[in-house]
Amino acid sequence: MTAVAFAALPAAASQVGDDGSDRILIADPSPALRSYLLSGGFIVESTERLEALDFSLVIVALPKHTAAVVALNDLQAHFPTAVLALDDSFYLAQDARLLHGPLAQPGQVLAAIGWRSDDGDVGKPIRVGMIDSSLDPAHQALRGAAIVPRTFTSGKAPAADTAHGTAIAAMLVGRSNDRSVVGLVRGTTLLHASIFQNSRQGPKASSADFLRAVDWMLKSGVRIINASITSPTKNAVVLYALSTLSREEAVVVAAAGNHGPSGPPVYPAAIESAFAVTAVSIDGNAYPHANTGDYIDISAPGVDLTTTSPRITSGTSLAVPFVTAAIARMVQRCGVSPPAATARLQANARDLGPRGRDSHFGWGLLQAPRCSPTATQLSDRRHPRSVPAD
């Protein structure tokens, strides 16, 4: 089909994607689909093998004068079994709204989850991944931290604002101080993928760059990935790629989103293979701007915290590092896989809200890792969660 034929499709389908995507991602396209792309006026911009994710990613630009959704619908109609999607955008899961409450002191925050920060590193060294904005390696909280950086921004300059990435990195591997929660897994090597570019909507990242970052981390031995980021779109290629995580015994720990209780699911948190984290106060009260849904797995502190940035004090993004750190500790000290660690954290969470798992708190408030949950706890509580429909 030519570009002219695309333009003749119904006008109702000609709207551009929600984030203005002008690229289509295809996983392992068949020879017939490749031929169709060439004859239809698509431009194949790149073909790359994502080795750890075990598929070939093809990125194509649209035919001239063709809307993205129109082109995508046509390809789906002609190749219904193909795995393809727009190159949808990811956003930082930060929340600019301040709650005006007194900021919790680090000791109060750690006490709420029974976390001891002074018991030293135990077990073999591991690597933890973080997909986020750029960070400031010269920040005093990150001096001496073992951080391996890499940028995935499709050849464009990364967004200049480093506040979010610095805050999350400091929570994970930063130097101890009395002003903010830092160094939850101090001494761990942090692989940091910067994927955000500037846009009119603020820092924005592409699905392709997100997948490149995940692939790099898996190839580098990372099995726990902190993703304080969200996308509003259930992207078929991202779902296809992350389906390999269970085989790799890896987990993406993801922010539940800050769009309020009636907000739609966000991704990757709502993907079955991810571990979705929502934010609560140190008293166990729900963050009023947090998403809710069946995909929520666990709660962690994320309200009125002190961080390396006075602009970043609340949000589901801040809750994620607590859970990432807890999984890392269990892998190090208990000798379990990351998926097994998530099951144990669910089993040992402090129940909040209605009895059992619920759409506001998941299994409840994260508690400091333990190495010996009962078999009954695990068998009773480790249930697969439903994945939101389109």
pLDDT at res. 99: 62
pLDDT at res. 383: 44
pLDDT digits (tens, 9 = 90+) for 86-115: 999 999 988 766 666 789 999 999 999 999
pLDDT at res. 115: 94
Under 8 Å between Cβ of 130 and 193: yes
- State how beta strands 89-92 and 229-230 pair: antiparallel
How many angstroms separate the CA atoms of 194 and 41, rounded? 33
Average pLDDT over residues 216-237: 97
Average pLDDT over residues 298-316: 94
pLDDT at res. 100: 61
Residue 337 pLDDT class (50, 70, 90 cuts): very high
Task: Name residues whose C-beta falls within 8 Å of residue 261's C-beta, 6 or more positions apart in sequence.
Answer: 288, 290, 291, 292, 360
Please tell me whether residue 244 adopts helix, strand or coil conformation.
Answer: coil
DSSP for 143-176, written as a single string: TT--EEEEE-STTSPBPS--HHHHHHHHHHHPPP
Residue 116 pLDDT class (50, 70, 90 cuts): confident
pTM of the model: 0.90
The single-letter code of the amino acid at 383 is H
Find, among 202, 209, 191, 199, the residue nearest to 155 by Cα.
209
Average pLDDT across the chain, whole number: 88
pLDDT digits (tens, 9 = 90+) for 35-93: 999 999 999 999 999 999 999 999 999 998 899 999 999 999 999 999 999 999 999 98
pLDDT digits (tens, 9 = 90+) for 369-385: 888 654 334 434 444 45
Under 8 Å between Cβ of 270 and 295: yes
Find, among 320, 218, 232, the residue nearest to 270 by Cα.
232
Find, among 209, 216, 229, the residue nearest to 132 by Cα.
229
Please tell me whether residue 185 adopts helix, strand or coil conformation.
Answer: coil
pLDDT at res. 366: 98
Domains of the chain in start order, with CATH, are 3-87 (3.30.70), 91-381 (3.40.50.200)
How many angstroms separate the CA atoms of 321 and 93, rounded? 13
The residue behind tokens 């239809």 is: 40
